[in-house]
């Protein structure tokens, strides 16, 4: 097994747990849509939101999930059949309006309290140590994320890790992760690129790209995915289901059973 030349890592749900930030931003956006809601979320709502967050594909669905939970939808029914558009209609809102509210409250939070916003992110146990061991080594580590690159660099810098501008492909890159991986391969050997991501759909999208056949794909079991996603990955000939314990070990241990 050849070691990778490039290790591409998703950020949220792989390196960093942004659940506090998701929930707080979603709650603030929900309150813009439902001004009668209390300033602080009811006890227990965070935990219920966190368990169902893997269902969310786009940001606008997060305030909608809060609405569904506030309306009394059960965890089991939402897990079985998450219908964001139906709940959106129940909220009497549009995707655009919810998405805009979410962007606005996030921008305001960052503008007024960037330190607090950054502090609502937590790196998963062992991740920073793992990245430190890779730093300066032969493997080029890049972050491929839908978060803005500057926030990724700031969050990593707070942990004493510096990634170059060229090694963070953030939201501003405005292209699917599949396209970023193609650029990283750049006509070279795709088997030398390894990609760790917590969203199964993103890995499935990469799988459909012929020029990326051979790139190693890992689903981060500790991230925002469901038991169903993990079962799919376990039975997938291409995708490797990676645990956080294995992530912390040497790269060769990721693919050795
Ligand atoms: Mg992710």
pTM: 0.91
Ranges assigned E (strand) in 119-169: 122-123, 140-144, 168-169
- Residue 173 has a pLDDT of 86
- How far is ligand 1, taken at its centre, from the CA of residue 199, in Å? 6
Name every residue whose Cβ is closer than 8 Å to that of residue 215 and which is 6 or more positions away in sequence. Answer: 181, 185, 190, 191, 193, 194, 195, 206
pLDDT by residue, tens only, the chain of 257 residues: 678 999 999 999 999 999 999 999 999 999 999 999 999 999 999 999 999 999 998 899 999 999 999 999 999 999 999 999 999 999 999 999 999 999 999 999 999 999 999 999 999 999 999 999 999 899 999 999 988 899 999 999 999 999 888 999 998 888 999 999 999 999 789 999 999 999 999 999 999 999 999 999 999 999 999 999 999 999 999 999 999 999 999 999 999 86
Q: Are residues 87 and 56 in contact, defined by beta-carbon separation less than 8 angstroms?
A: no
Q: Are residues 64 and 70 in contact, defined by beta-carbon separation less than 8 angstroms?
A: no
d(CA 106, CA 95): 16
Q: Are residues 195 and 215 in contact, defined by beta-carbon separation less than 8 angstroms?
A: yes
d(CA 67, CA 88): 8
Distances (CA, A) of 164 to 7, 115, 141, 181: 14, 22, 10, 17
Instruction: List the alpha helices (DSSP H) in 186-234.
Output: 200-207, 227-234
Q: Which residues surround ligand 1, an ion (CB under 5 A)?
A: 10, 12-13, 198
- How far is ligand 1, taken at its centre, from the CA of residue 149, in Å? 14
- How far is ligand 1, taken at its centre, from the CA of residue 203, in Å? 11
Each residue's pLDDT tens digit, 53-102 = 999 988 999 999 999 999 999 999 999 999 999 999 999 999 999 999 99
Backbone angles phi, psi at 107, to 5 degrees: -60, -40
- Residue 257 has a pLDDT of 66
Map out the domains of the chain with their CATH numbers: 6-17+123-254 (3.40.50.1000), 19-119 (no CATH)
- How far is ligand 1, taken at its centre, from the CA of residue 10, in Å? 6
d(CA 251, CA 150): 27
């Amino acid at each position: 097994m050849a070691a990778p030349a490039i290790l591409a890592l998703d950020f949220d749900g792989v390196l960093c747990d942004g659940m506090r930030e998701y929930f707080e931003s979603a709650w603030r956006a929900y309150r813009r849509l439902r001004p009668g809601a209390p300033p602080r979320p009811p006890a227990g709502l965070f935990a219920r939101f966190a368990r169902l967050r893997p269902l969310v594909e786009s940001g606008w669905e997060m305030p909608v999930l809060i609405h569904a939970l506030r309306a009394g939808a059960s965890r089991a029914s939402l897990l079985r059949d998450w219908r964001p558009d139906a709940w959106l209609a129940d909220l009497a809102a549009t995707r655009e309006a919810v998405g805009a509210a979410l962007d606005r409250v996030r921008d305001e939070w960052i503008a007024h309290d960037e330190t607090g916003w950054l502090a609502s992110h937590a790196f998963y146990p062992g991740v920073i140590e793992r990245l430190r061991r890779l730093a300066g080594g032969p493997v080029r580590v890049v972050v491929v994320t839908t978060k803005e690159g500057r926030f990724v660099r700031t969050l990593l810098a707070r942990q004493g890790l510096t990634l170059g501008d060229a090694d963070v492909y953030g939201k501003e890159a405005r292209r699917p992760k599949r396209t970023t991986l193609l650029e990283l391969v750049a006509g070279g050997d795709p088997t030398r690129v390894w990609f760790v991501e917590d969203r199964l759909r993103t890995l499935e999208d990469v799988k459909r790209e012929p020029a990326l056949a051979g790139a190693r794909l890992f689903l981060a079991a500790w991230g925002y995915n469901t038991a169903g996603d993990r079962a799919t990955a376990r039975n997938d000939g291409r995708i490797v289901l990676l645990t956080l314990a294995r992530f912390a070990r040497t790269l060769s241990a990721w693919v050795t059973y």
